[in-house]
A and B are shown apart, each in its own frame.
Chain A
Amino acid sequence: MLTYEKIFDAIFISLQVSVISTILSFFLSIIFSYIIAINNFTLKRTIIAFIGSLTSIPPVCAGLIVYLLISRSGPLGWMEILYTPSAMIIAQFLIIFPIMTTLFVNYIQDEYPRFSEELTSYGASKRDLIYLLIKNKRTIYMTVLLIGFGRAISEYGAAAIVGGSIDQVTRNMTSMIALETSKGNVLTGVILGIVLILLSLIISFIINILKKKND
């Protein structure tokens, strides 16, 4: 019953969903983090702490939240994205956005004061500082991408709930592993798990090579 075609579909779906959610989260998180870290406002510490706490959100909870929103009886039901890869992307986004934002905010808060102190004496404006900070510290990006992607591709629960684990449509690797295991095909589950790890290894490898090329 489990064919190579189905496995390849699951791999493709995992990659499609997790790559897009990672990229989406990455860019939105950079923008959001800079705005928060650089400006001072009354609720700043509270918001940063709150986002930090969201890093512990269980995938199933993220899935349920999105489900409630996009279910037919939910406020966004008219969008008809339940049980599609788009819903999976959104659910994974909810999980990794807080993680990336927390990493970036901490990084900026560490780097920015020193940047600001010295470079404003050299005449740099706030805009210049942000530009230089974004453009020139590349290792933080690789690290955040790796961590975010790892979390996205390995999560089970969020994408499964809003995607419905539909065979060859929204069944990604982790859903397939869970399904095979729950059917009693433990060996198959383990083998698929190894495939997933190898996949992550390859991608991590690629990101690291890109990182070295930048040095």
Chain B
Amino acid sequence: MKVIKYIFIFIFITSSELFSREYLVVQSTTSTVNTGLLDMLSNYFQKETGIEVRTIAVGTGTAISNAKNGDGDVLLVHSKLDELKFVEDGYGVERYELMYNDFIFVGPHDDPAKISNAKNIKDVMKIINFSKFKFISRDDNSGTHKKELSLWKNNNLSLPDHKNYIRTGTGMANTLNIASEMQAYTFTDRGTWISFPNKKDLKILYENDESLHNPYGIIAVSPKKFPHVEYEKSLKFIEWLTQGKGKDLIKSFEIDGERLFFVNE
């Protein structure tokens, strides 16, 4: 009986962190993790520097909110306006552009709404606004959803409130699954699309518009605001990703022969 008690105490203690951290906590959006990119990068970084990278993959909104609570050393999301505000408000030191890809519109193969015929982004948004065909929106404070909202705003359209505008409140792959099931349209980042295993009933219908640019930013959480953050390690990581081996690894990251993320040279 006593033995059990001591084993239990031992496990409890060793499972918590009594010693100084040899790891970095990254608050990240989900697309960098679900595609497998961050896992690959973390492994290489750890091999090279011995620093473990622990990623908390939540939505962009949650990642930012967690970082504002001081619960992370690095912020990695794709919502430039929010990122800049994060730095401006003193939570982050400086925003670096890590990589980019783009957003795309996908939908059923037969494309009844004829989105593939649209001449520009404004046409696309108008078609969705029209209400005749189902469109799935993430509605979850993610980077992707924030982009969708900005598209409505920038094209002077109000958010649709008809019954064919469906809000799921879930992650990107879930949303794609629903779109596939319902044979509906939806809006996704290209990285998640390439790594999505269930593509067969959907097709890319609108892409390569400059307003669909999807930049990812990386920011070190400010040690002035949160003295406990591992600032040195954060800087090392960001440097490795933007100028060192990490950059090459991002460039060479492929799924089924297709690149998911691009970097500025």
Contact = CB atoms under 8 A, between A and B. Distances in A.
Touching chains A and B, CB distance < 8 Å: yes
Contact of A164 (B54, B70, B196, B228): B54
B228 A72 contact: yes
Contacts of A73: 69-71
Contacts, number: 79
B8 A23 contact: yes
Contacts of B176: 184
Given A20-B12, A184-B176, A1 B36 contact: yes
Nearest to B171: A182
Given A16-B15, A182-B174, A77 B56 contact: no
A82 B71 contact: yes
A183 B69 contact: no
Given A83-B56, A164-B54, A166-B55, A183 B173 contact: yes
B173 A184 contact: yes
Nearest to B15: A85
Contacts of B56: 83, 164-166
A20 B11 CA distance: 8
Tier of interface size on chain A: 20 to 34
Which of A80, A165, A169, A183: most chain B CB closer than 10 A?
Answer: A183
Contacts of A23: 8
A89 B15 CA distance: 10
Interface string B2-40: 000000100110011100000001000010001010010
B243 interface: no
B34 A72 contact: no
A89 B69 contact: no
Given A77-B70, A81-B17, A1 B39 contact: yes
Contacts of B55: 166-167
A86 B173 contact: no
A185 interface: yes
Nearest to B55: A166
A71 B55 CA distance: 16
Given A84-B15, A86-B16, A184-B198, A167 B71 contact: no
A167 B173 contact: no
A85 B195 CA distance: 30
B101 interface: no
A77 B66 CA distance: 13
Nearest to A166: B54
B170 interface: yes
Given A80-B228, A182-B30, A183-B173, 16 more contacts: A1-B36, A20-B12, A73-B71, A74-B69, A85-B15, A164-B56, A165-B56, A165-B57, A182-B170, A183-B195, A184-B174, A184-B176, A184-B197, A184-B198, A185-B197, A186-B198
Closest 3 CB pairs of A and B: A72-B70, A184-B173, A86-B16
Interface of B: 8, 11-12, 15-17, 25, 30, 34, 36, 39, 54-57, 66, 69-71, 170-171, 173-174, 176-177, 195-198, 226, 228
Interface of A: 1, 16, 20, 23-24, 71-74, 77, 80-86, 89, 164-167, 169, 179, 181-186
